Amino acid sequence: MINIMIYAEQTNYKLRKASREILGYFSVLAQEQPLQVTALVVGAECNEVIKEIGRCGVRDILVMEGQEYQTYHPNILAQAVVQGASDLRPDYLVLANTAVGKDIAPRVGGKLGWGCVSDVIDLELTDNLTFVKPIYAGKALAQIAGNGQKPLIVTVRPNALKAVDPSPVEPVVSKGVTPDLTGNEHLGYILKEVVAKVTGKTPPLTEADIIVSGGRGMKGPENFVLLEELAEVLGAAVGASRAAVDAGWREHQYQVGQTGKTVSPSLYIACGISGAIQHLAGMSSARTVVAINKDPNAPIFKIADFGIVGDALKILPILTAELKKHLKQTQ
C-alpha cells in the first residue's frame, strides 16, 4: 500500500482548482491501485474546503485549523505541513506547482530531509510512482523513477493531469496537532496584504483552461482590449509575451514564458506572438495551440495545431463576433 498525502491549497476559504485536479486524480487512481490518499488542510475556516475535498472523492482529511493561518506566511504554513507529514509519514507528499506550492515545498523538504520532484506533468504507478517533467526549458521530457526512494515531495503542474470524474464521498476528518509557532518561524517578515482590483470573471492564468495571449503584433496596450473581448466570450484568461510585458503593455503577472508563468491550458490562442524559445517554454504543454500571425514563417506555427496567417488586429474582432454568434445559436 502506497501512502499519499496531498496538501489541499485554498484561497479565500475555497479549494484551489489545481488542488481539486490532484485530489480527484488520486481518488480515481486509488480505486484501481493500492493507494491510501489523505488530504491535508491548513487554514482559519476549513468547513467549505472539507466539503469540496469530499466532492473530489477523498475521504480521509487531516485538518490543522486556527487563526494563525488566516494570513499566508510561508514559514508558518511550511511548519504546519511538516507537522502533518511527520504525523502521517506518507510515501509521497503532493502539492500543486502553484506560487504557494513552489514556495513551501523546498522549505518542507529542507526541514524533513526529503527529496523533491517539481513541476510534474504526468505520472505512472507500478511498485512506485514514476514521474514525467519537462527539462531544458520544455524542449525535452524526463522520466524520473522513484526507485524506492521514499518519502518524496512532488509538485504537479496545474492543468497537466488528465481530467477525471471522481465519486463524491462523506469526509472523515481528523484534527492535526498544531505545531509550536512560538520560536522564530514567524519572524523576519513584514507582511503587506494587497487587494487587487479584479475585472470580469477570468480565472488565474496558471489554472485557466483557455488562454488568449498577445505579443508584439498587438502593436500597443490599447489593442489588448481585443484579447479581453475574446477572452470574455470564451471564459478565458489573458496572457502576454515577454516582448509585450517589456514594452509596458501588460504587467509581469500576465507574462507567459520561461521568465513568466508556465501554463498548460486545453486551448492556447497566440495572437501576434512570433514564438521565441523563451515563450514556447511557458506554453508548449498546451493541448491545442492556435496561432494568429502575419509572418507565415513565424516559429509559433511549427508547434501550432491550427494557424491563421494575417493581422491579429483585423482577425480578432471577426473571430469574437463569430464565436458570439455560434454560442448564441447553441444556447
Q: Measured between alpha carbons, how far is 130 from 103 in angstroms, rounded to an integer? A: 23
- The pLDDT value given to residue 145: 80
- The pLDDT value given to residue 188: 58
Cell numbers given for 144: 524520473
Q: Measured between alpha carbons, how far is 283 from 138 in angstroms, rounded to an integer? A: 9
- The pLDDT value given to residue 302: 94
- The pLDDT value given to residue 182: 65
Q: Which residues contact 253 (CB under 8 A, 6 or more apart)?
A: 205, 261
Q: Measured between alpha carbons, how far is 93 from 3 in angstroms, rounded to an integer? A: 9
Q: Measured between alpha carbons, how far is 187 from 53 in angstroms, rounded to an integer? A: 32
- The pLDDT value given to residue 204: 84
Intervals of CATH 3.40.50.620 along the chain:
2-175
Q: Is the dihedral of CA 288, 293, 295, 298 positive or negative?
A: negative
Q: Pick from 209, 282, 210: which is nearest to 245 by CA?
A: 282
Q: Pick from 192, 112, 199, 120: which is nearest to 154 by CA?
A: 120
User: CA 75, 79, 82, 84: dihedral to nearest 10 degrees?
Assistant: -130
pTM of the model: 0.83
- The pLDDT value given to residue 114: 94
- The pLDDT value given to residue 123: 87
Q: Which residues contact 79 (CB under 8 A, 6 or more apart)?
A: 111, 179, 181, 185
Fold of 205-330: Rossmann fold (3.40.50)
Per-residue pLDDT of the chain (331 residues; tens, 9 = 90+): 889 999 999 988 899 999 999 999 999 999 988 889 999 999 998 999 999 999 999 999 999 998 888 888 898 999 999 999 999 999 999 999 999 999 999 999 999 999 999 999 998 877 677 889 988 877 788 988 866 677 999 999 999 888 889 999 999 999 988 777 766 555 556 566 666 555 556 778 988 999 999 999 999 999 999 999 999 999 999 999 999 999 999 999 999 998 899 999 999 999 999 999 989 999 988 999 999 999 999 999 999 999 999 999 999 999 999 999 988 887 7
- The pLDDT value given to residue 198: 52
CATH of domain 2-175: 3.40.50.620
Intervals of CATH 3.40.50.1220 along the chain:
205-330
